[in-house]
Amino acid sequence: MIKYVFYIIVISISFITKGYANEPEWSVDVSKYAYSMTFTGQINITGDLSENVNDMIGAFVGDECRGVAKNILDNEYNTYYCYLMVYSNSANEEITFKIYDSENGKIIPVKNSHYFIINNIVGEDINPFYWASENLNSESKINAFTFNNQIGETRFSNNNIEIDISDDVDITKLKPNFDLSDGAIAYINDIKQISGESATDFSSQVSVKVLSQDMLNTETYYINVIPKKADKTTSVNSTEFEKMIISPNPATDFIEITGINSMVDISIYNNSGILLIRDSNINNNCRVDITQLSAGFYTVLLSNSKNSIAKKLIVK
């Protein structure tokens, strides 16, 4: 009965979408197979979940199509899902997937695969399986995490982060500045965070979940803010920090940092949070040699005893 219903669905989909010239002719003869398994999942082409009803997911063993489904709107969750049934005659076959991007008329390989398990159910509406384009980033790291009124540098120990902050600051409404792996998203209590804008109560430990761009990996970081008496000597305020400019960006051999009017420290970190370059007590515009850095993404942290700001640097 299940096979019969799925066969009707496949025929209906083919009929409804007929006329899309570039649409692949993926189909399955379900009568050839003894077993099935199902996936409830979502398509991730660009780092955002697909909401196009003409986007498709195809399941394959080798070059043979074993299942196909299109996006369907679930009214209860107001979210689009693909309900994919996959067929086989034996367990443990490796199932690979392909996305059809209807907006651009392209077939995109999916980076993640799955082994066939007879009668298995993979994913559900509240915890779906994700089909991610192979070009999306899998990293889910916090590269830098600072506050405008912090004292000294942020301390990383694995996934634990400690920050000292002036005791005259209201830590129940702090807005962190952070830099993540390319395309990653940070969540606190399942609410998406925006660097420098999202306010959170840091009076107790805060968990930050980082979701990779391909939505296949997550890491949780634990933030501890420690109030301390600040050095009241003259320092750069947060507005002046925001006026500091790094150029050129992208860069190759050097960067110039302008807008420095008071004493600051300059630290450059890689995507793993490892300190690679540090210049201390800079009190004027400066040039930093970066010839030791290989091509990639880096975080430049500008800081003093009271404030700090993280800026993204691309090295070519």
Q: Are 131 and 43 a contacting pair, CB within 8 Å? A: yes
pLDDT in tens, 242-266: 778 889 989 999 999 888 777 788 8
Same fold flag, 2-132 and 142-315: yes
**SS3 label, residue 302:** strand
CATH 2.60.40.2340 fits 142-315, yes or no: yes
Closest by CA position to 13, among listed 52, 54, 60:
54
Predicted local distance difference test score (pLDDT) of residue 238: 56
The architecture (CATH level 2) of 2-132 comes to: Sandwich (2.60)
Provide the CB-side half-sphere exposure for 266 (13 A, CA).
23
pLDDT in tens, 107-149: 999 999 999 999 999 999 999 999 999 999 999 999 889 888 7
Would you call 266 exposed, middle or buried from its count of C-beta atoms within 10 A (0-12, 13-18, 19+)? buried
DSSP state of 133: B
CA 156 to chain centre: 20
Banded model confidence at residue 6, pLDDT cuts 50, 70, 90? very low
Predicted local distance difference test score (pLDDT) of residue 21: 52
Place of tokens 């600040």: 230
What are the residue ranges spanned by the domains of the chain? 2-132, 142-315
Residue 13 pLDDT > 70: no
